[in-house]
Each structure stands twice: as C-alpha cells, then as structure tokens.
Chain A
C-alpha cells in the first residue's frame, strides 16, 4: 500500500479526512483557547494586584 492510495481511501478520502481533519482542528482550537484564557486570567489578576498596591 502506498501513501497516495492510503490518502485516497478508495474514493472516500474527502469524507474520511474531512471528518478527522475538522475533529483535529476543533480540538486544537479548544486547547489554544483554553490556554489563552488561562494566560488572560493570570494577567488580569496581576493587574488587579498592581492596582491594589498603588492604593
């Protein structure tokens, strides 16, 4: 079995890779967003602390 044949999936390539591709994309996007959220939350808390210190 060569790779071109593997990716063709006997004519079902679009459906198979369309499924796995989008699933992977969605999960990766979720990971990026969740990590981004953590960074933002920590930044906000540090900002709050700095404002508190000045008072």
Chain B
C-alpha cells in the first residue's frame, strides 16, 4: 500500500490526523508513568552508595535525554522548514520548543535536588551542568525570538537559524563528561553494557518511553492550535466542525 506522505505534510490533513493520534500517545504515556514509578519506588532496590536519593534519576535521566533529543528534532524540523519552505515543519518546531524547555528545566531542577545531598551543592559550574543550562537558554531564546517577530514567515526563518546554530551545544552536553573532568558522573549505561541493577534499568527505560509518548502527545495538541491560528483565513478552517458549531 502506498501512502502519500506529502498529503500529511499539508496542515489541513495533518490537523485531523494529529487529533486522532493524541489519545494513542497520551494514555500509554499515563500508564507507563505509573508503571515506571511503581518499579522505581517499589521494585528497584536501594543504591549502595547513594541510598534512596538515587531514585531521582528515574525522572532526571529521561528528562535530560529528552531535553537534548527534542532540541535536535526541533532543529531538524526548523531546518526542513527553512530549506523546503514547508509550513508544517516550521509549526512543529514552534510546538516542540516549550516542551523542550520544560524538560531542560526538570533536568536542572532534579539535578540540583540530587546534587545537594550527594555533592553538598545545589549548583556547580561544571561542564555538564553549564551546557545543559545553555540548552535551556537556547530554548527560551528560540521562543522569545519567534514571539518578537510579527511576520510568521520571518519569525520561522530567524528561529530556524538560531535552532540550527544552537544544535552544536547538544553534542557538547553529551560528551562533556568525557571531554572534561566533571563533577557530574559519566553514564552508567554504555553500549558495552551496564553495572546497573535490572529493576533500575527497567524503571529508567519505562520512564524514558513514558516521557517520549508524553512529548509526542502534548506537541500534537499544541501544533493543532498553531495550525488553526496560522491557517485561520483559509476555507478548510472555516468549515471545521469545531468552528461551525
């Protein structure tokens, strides 16, 4: 069966598709959050070194991973919009930015609450922490820049450039623990295997998938509002059932 993907790159078709997809991501996300937290708090054992405080990683690590991934996806959408002038990809980039900023914030916040009992400091100017803070500022800069330009086409282009240039920061965050002597520990899960207890891995992985699904669901809902706003003068929007009623 041949699917015409271009059909779904039209905001008018994507609007309906996105609406149908939302519950398929939102409900599994809610379920997996419950499963992940259950495993994380009731199945996973206490850490020998870090005691109970280590349980913060079940939200800290997924939030941090996603804050980086969302940025790359946002930059990729922005680049697509810039190169091919596709309206929908620019809208997707705009829809992803606030969620990315929130995950970067959660990463920093939970990191501070873990750092205080473990390192004795809420914050240190360590390479990992500093580059993650810059990521948060890049998200906020992207949002502010787009909001400050009245003409949406120009706002998209300016935002896209910022997003693309800023993506250089993502590998810096990722490799910071290898390149520099950081207080932040290196990753426990490597491609070569891990020393982590199996229940801890399951909790972290479940929470990661839950966060992914959440991000997809929330950005689909957000992009639907953006589509309506930007296409408000078109006939298909005027003929929508939710507008006509």
Contact = CB atoms under 8 A, between A and B. Distances in A.
Contacts, number: 80
A42 B243 contact: yes
A45 B59 contact: no
Contact-residue bracket for chain B: 35 or more
A16 B109 CA distance: 11
A9 B225 contact: no
A16 B106 contact: no
A18 B113 CA distance: 7
B105 interface: yes
Interface centre among B41, B52, B229 (most CB of A within 10 A): B52
Interface string B85-128: 00000000000001100100110011001101100000000000
Interface stretch (B67-75, B168-176, B214-222): B214-222
B121 to A, nearest CB: 13
Interface in B221-239: 221-222, 224-225, 228-229, 232, 237-238
B53 interface: yes
Given A34-B218, A41-B228, A19 B109 contact: yes
Given A10-B52, A22-B109, A37 B59 contact: no
B237 A45 contact: yes
Interface string A1-26: 00000100111100110111011001
A18 B243 CA distance: 42
Given A26-B105, A42-B243, A31 B218 contact: yes
B51 interface: yes
Given A9-B53, A23-B63, A23-B106, A15 B114 contact: yes
B221 A23 contact: no
A27 B51 contact: no
B56 interface: yes
Given A20-B59, A30-B98, A34-B221, A48 B109 contact: no
For the complex of A and B, 5 pairs with smallest distance between CB atoms: A12-B53, A19-B110, A9-B52, A15-B113, A41-B225
Interface of A: 6, 9-12, 15-16, 18-20, 22-23, 26-27, 30-31, 34-35, 37-38, 41-42, 44-46, 48-49
27 contacts: A9-B52, A9-B53, A10-B51, A11-B51, A12-B51, A12-B52, A16-B56, A16-B113, A18-B113, A19-B59, A22-B106, A23-B59, A26-B106, A30-B102, A34-B221, A34-B222, A34-B225, A37-B222, A38-B221, A38-B224, A42-B242, A45-B228, A45-B243, A46-B245, A48-B232, A49-B243, A49-B244
Given A15-B56, A45-B232, A49-B244, 4 more contacts: A15-B113, A15-B117, A19-B59, A38-B221
